[in-house]
Structure 1
Amino acid sequence: MERGPRRVTGFTDAVFAIISTLLVLDIRLPAGTDHLGRSLLALWPSYLAYAITFLLIGQTWVNHHIIFDHIRSVDRILLLLNTLMLMTGAFLPFTASVLAQAFRTGHGERAATVFYGTTFMLGAILFNLIWRYAQHGQRLLAKTIDPEGASVISRRLLPAPFWLALGTGLGVVLPLLGVLVITSLIPFYWLSIPGENLRSRRHRGSTGDGGQAHE
C-alpha cells in the first residue's frame, strides 16, 4: 500500500526537532561551583559536541526535505527505512554526551569517538538506502526530477557513510582527528547539489504543479 509523503515528513520534522532540543540538556554546571567563569569554560567539550551534532542533524533534516520533495509516495519498506534512520538519530544526544564527557575528563576518547562516529555512519547508510529504494526504477519518485537528476543526488549522498567510516577509524588512533573528519561533513553537505536544482526547475516548468503528490 502506497501513500503520500506528507505525514512522513511531518513526523520526521517533529523527531528531528525533539532530538535537537535534547542535545542542550546535557550541558550542565557541576554542583557546588565556586568559580562560574572557569566552570563554564571547562564545559567546552559539551559546547563543541552540541554544535557539531546540532549542525549534522540540521544538515540531515535539510537533505531529508530535499529528497522527499522528489518522492511521490511511500510504502511500508520506505517507512521502515525512515523509522530506522530516526531511531539512530534519536540515539545521538546520548552519543554526543558520551563524546563530551570523554574529552572533558580525558578518559575514553577513542571509544567515545568510535561510538559517536558509528552512530552517524549507521544513520548515513540508512539515509542512502531511503533514497536508493525510492529511486530504483523511479518507483516512488515524482515528476519533479528525472533519472539523471536522481543519480546526481545518489552520487552526492554516497560519500557520507565512507567519510564517517574514515573518521570513526581514525578515532581509534587519533580521536581528535577523527572528530575533525566527521565535522568536515558539515560544510560539504550544506552546499547545494550541483545540477539537481536545474533539473527540478525544468520539470516543475513542464508539469505546472511540480508533480507533487496530493493526499
Structure 2
Amino acid sequence: MTKTAARQPMSVGRLEAFSDGVFAIAITLLILEIRLPGEPESDQALLQELVRLWPSYLSYAVSVLLIGMVWMNHHRMFHHIRQVDGFLLLLNILLLASVTFLPFPTHVLAEAVHVQRGEHTAAVFYGMVLVIGGVFYNALWCYASIGHRLLGDTITPAEAAALRIRWGMGPVVYLVAAAIGLWSAVASLVFYVLLLLFYFLDLRPRRADVQ
C-alpha cells in the first residue's frame, strides 16, 4: 500500500452505513425496556397490567419516532456532505452516542409516570438528553457547512445558512419541552409529538425548477 493510499479519508457512504446500523440498534433496544412488572395470576390481572403500561407504550412511540426523525434528517444532511474528516467523524460519534443513550431516559420516564413518583425529574432528564443530541446534530452541520467546508454543489452557502437556523431551533424547543416537564410529564411528551410532526418535514430550502 502506498503512502498516499494509506491516507485516503473515510468515504461518506461508509460513515452513513455505520450510522444507519447504530440508529437501527437504538430503535431495537427501546422495545427491551417494556416489561411486565411481575407475573399476573389471571387473564384479568394480565389485562390490567398491560393497560397500566400505557406510559411505556407512549414513551416508546415517542422515542421511536424521535430516533426515526433524527435518522431521516441525518440522511438529508449527508445528501449535501461530500467529504469526511476526523473532526466530523468525532461529531457524528457524539450524535450517535446521544441516540443510543435514549432507551435509558425513555425507561426512566415510563417508570416514573407509571408509579407516579419523580415524573417531573424524569421528564426534564429525558428532555435534556434530547437537547444534548440536538446540540451535537447542529454542531455536525455547522462544522460541515460553515465556509462550505465539506459540502458539495447540491446546496448553496445561503441555503446551508438557512438550514443552520432552521435545524438550530431544535435544541431550543427541546429545552422548552423539558421545562414543560417540570409541570407535567405527559404534557411534555405531547409537546414532543407536536415537535415531531414539524421536524419530520423536509426543512431544506426548495430550489425552483429550471425551465
TM-score for both structures, normalised by structure 2: 0.89
Please say if residues 164 and 181 of structure 1, whose CA atoms lie closer than 8 Å, have aligned partners that are also in contact: no
Distance 1:122 1:152 in 2: 21
Residue 22 in structure 1 maps to residue 32 in structure 2: no
1:194, CA displacement in angstroms?
5.4
Query: Secondary structure of 1:173's partner?
Result: coil
Residue 189 in structure 1 maps to residue 199 in structure 2: yes
Letter in structure 2 aligned against 1:10:
A
Distance 2:148 2:140 in 1: 13
The counterpart of 2:60, out of the listed 33, 40, 50, is 50
Aligned residues: 201
Residue 161 in structure 1 maps to residue 168 in structure 2: no
Q: Are the structure 2 counterparts of residues 9 and 194 from structure 1 closer, same or farther at C-alpha, using a change threshold of 3 Å?
A: closer
Letter in structure 2 aligned against 1:28:
R
Distance 1:92 1:134 in 2: 25
Residue 12 in structure 1 maps to residue 22 in structure 2: no
The counterpart of 1:108, out of the listed 104, 118, 122, is 118
Please say if residues 83 and 151 of structure 2, whose CA atoms lie closer than 8 Å, have aligned partners that are also in contact: yes
- Larger mean CA deviation between 46-55 and 153-162 belongs to 153-162
Distance 1:178 1:52 in 2: 11
2:3 — aligned with what?
none
Distance 1:143 1:137 in 2: 13
Distance 1:107 1:72 in 2: 48
Distance 2:116 2:169 in 1: 31
The counterpart of 1:122, out of the listed 109, 126, 132, is 132
Query: Secondary structure of 1:140's partner?
Result: coil
Letter in structure 2 aligned against 1:134:
A
The counterpart of 1:40, out of the listed 47, 50, 53, is 50
- Larger mean CA deviation between 150-159 and 169-178 belongs to 169-178
Residue 150 in structure 1 maps to residue 171 in structure 2: no
Distance 1:54 1:194 in 2: 23
Distance 2:205 2:25 in 1: 33
Please say if residues 102 and 112 of structure 1, whose CA atoms lie closer than 8 Å, have aligned partners that are also in contact: yes
- RMSD (Å) for aligned C-alpha atoms: 1.8
TM-score for both structures, normalised by structure 1: 0.88
Letter in structure 2 aligned against 1:147:
P
Distance 2:185 2:50 in 1: 23
1:69 — aligned with what?
79
Residue 97 in structure 1 maps to residue 107 in structure 2: yes
Please say if residues 46 and 101 of structure 1, whose CA atoms lie closer than 8 Å, have aligned partners that are also in contact: yes
Map Cα deviations across residues 140-180 of structure 1 (whole Å, 9 max, x no partner): 00111111221232222011100001111221233332222
Q: Are the structure 2 counterparts of residues 194 and 145 from structure 1 closer, same or farther at C-alpha, using a change threshold of 3 Å?
A: closer
Please say if residues 163 and 182 of structure 1, whose CA atoms lie closer than 8 Å, have aligned partners that are also in contact: no
Letter in structure 2 aligned against 1:171:
G
1:60 — aligned with what?
70
Distance 1:173 1:104 in 2: 16
Letter in structure 1 aligned against 2:156:
D
